């Protein structure tokens, strides 16, 4: 897809945005040679190692077989389109960050991109310095821990990282990458009310865009999956504010009550003052 920014805006002094995580390998999957070389040049100047592919199928194979730290993915690719490549990649490497870089900027395109499991979505023409900042932020979060490991449990439901699924007894409900991230966010903060902006920034790592339905779509799908294992764990809408995860409280321990048939205990007599 064409890149229309004036030549003077096409490069930045990448040394002003040096890589905070040196030696990170970034795979660029882009069929436009001009944009591919532009991205590779700026990323290399910023201190990253770069691997380039112009074919979707070849790019997917490289992402799966090499120790890549982040993928920049175009959508309109020969061999295999970026959406299909991202879906396949996220099934096998759910923790590998994928940033879509594409000219497709309709709201439906953005929603579909996130639905495949993409971690960020950048539209062309883009600001190179901002793109480098987003890449740094994504790699920083990856090094800090990525997705929650192990198991999180709320109300008898278990969110299992290794299985990438919601587990209730023998029932196992698979989750897509962003569904897992969103539910892990709620499971880590049960009962706490969050504004929409807080959730989007924490899970999608970008600012909330008014009118965007990305969060609502994922909430609806998670509610459907929670209903499959119905244990009383729900995502509650607080109108005008946001969402929170609610779970049935453990039954209160019975309080000891006095036996009405038991004789009353004698009351102590008041002591006389001397």
Domains, the chain = 7-144 (3.40.50.2300), 151-246 (1.10.10.10)
Residue 21 confidence (pLDDT)? 58
71: phi then psi, degrees, rounded to nearest 5: -120, 130
Residue 259 confidence (pLDDT)? 45
Residue 8 confidence (pLDDT)? 30
**Helix residue ranges per DSSP H, 75-127:** 82-92, 107-115
> Distance between CA atoms of 139 and 233, rounded to whole angstroms?
33
Q: Indicate whether 145 pLDDT > 70.
A: no
Q: Indicate whether 4 pLDDT > 50.
A: no
Contacts of 30 (CB under 8 A, 6+ apart): 36, 39, 52, 53, 54, 72, 74, 77, 101
CA angle 178, 69, 78 (to 5 degrees): 75
Residue 231 confidence (pLDDT)? 72
Q: Out of 40-54, 166-180, 210-224, give the one with best mean pLDDT.
A: 40-54
Residue 177 confidence (pLDDT)? 81
Q: Indicate whether 98 pLDDT > 70.
A: yes
- Beta carbons within 10 angstroms of residue 191's beta carbon: 12
Q: Is 220 helix (H, G, I), strand (E, B) or coil?
A: helix
Q: Indicate whether 260 pLDDT > 50.
A: no
Mean pLDDT of all residues in 36-62: 94
Per residue, the 3-state secondary structure of 36-84, as one string, reads HHHHHHHHHHCCCEEEEECCHHHHHHHHHHCCCCEEEECCCCCCCCHHH
Please indicate, yes or no, whether the overall pTM of this predicted structure exceeds 0.85: no
Q: Is 222 exposed, middle or buried (0-12, 13-18, 19+ CB in 10 A)?
A: buried
238 DSSP β-pair partners: 242
Mean pLDDT of all residues in 255-263: 44
Q: Indicate whether 235 pLDDT > 90.
A: yes
Residue 155 confidence (pLDDT)? 87
Per-residue model confidence as pLDDT tens digits over 164-200? 889 988 889 998 888 888 998 899 888 999 998 888 8
CA 263 to chain centre: 64
Residue 12 confidence (pLDDT)? 47
Give percent of the chain above pLDDT 90. 32
Residue 209 confidence (pLDDT)? 61
């Amino acid at each position: 897809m064409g890149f229309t920014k004036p030549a003077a805006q096409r490069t930045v002094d990448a040394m002003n945005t040096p890589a905070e995580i040196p030696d990170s390998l970034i795979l660029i999957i882009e069929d436009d040679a001009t944009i591919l070389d532009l991205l590779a040049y700026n990323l290399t100047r910023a201190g990253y190692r770069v691997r380039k592919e112009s074919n979707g199928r070849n790019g997917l194979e490289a992402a799966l077989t090499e120790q890549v730290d982040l993928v920049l993915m175009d959508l309109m690719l020969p061999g295999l389109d970026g959406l299909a490549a991202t879906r396949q990649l996220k099934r096998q490497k759910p923790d590998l960050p994928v940033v879509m870089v594409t000219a497709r900027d309709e709201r439906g395109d953005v929603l579909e991109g996130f639905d495949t499991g993409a971690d960020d979505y950048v539209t062309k023409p883009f600001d190179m310095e901002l793109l480098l900042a987003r890449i740094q932020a994504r790699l920083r979060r990856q090094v800090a821990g990525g997705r929650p490991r192990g198991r999180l449990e709320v109300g008898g439901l278990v969110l299992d990282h290794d299985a990438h699924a919601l587990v209730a007894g023998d029932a196992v409900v698979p989750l897509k990458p962003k569904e897992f991230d969103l539910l892990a966010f709620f499971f880590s903060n049960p009962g706490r009310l969050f504004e929409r902006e807080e959730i989007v920034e924490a899970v999608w790592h970008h600012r909330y865009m008014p009118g965007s339905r990305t969060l609502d779509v994922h909430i609806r799908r998670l509610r459907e999956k929670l209903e499959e294992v119905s244990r009383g764990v729900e995502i509650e809408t607080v109108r005008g504010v946001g969402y929170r995860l609610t779970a049935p409280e453990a039954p209160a321990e019975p309080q000891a009550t006095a036996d009405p048939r038991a004789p009353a205990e004698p009351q102590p007599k008041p002591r006389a003052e001397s």
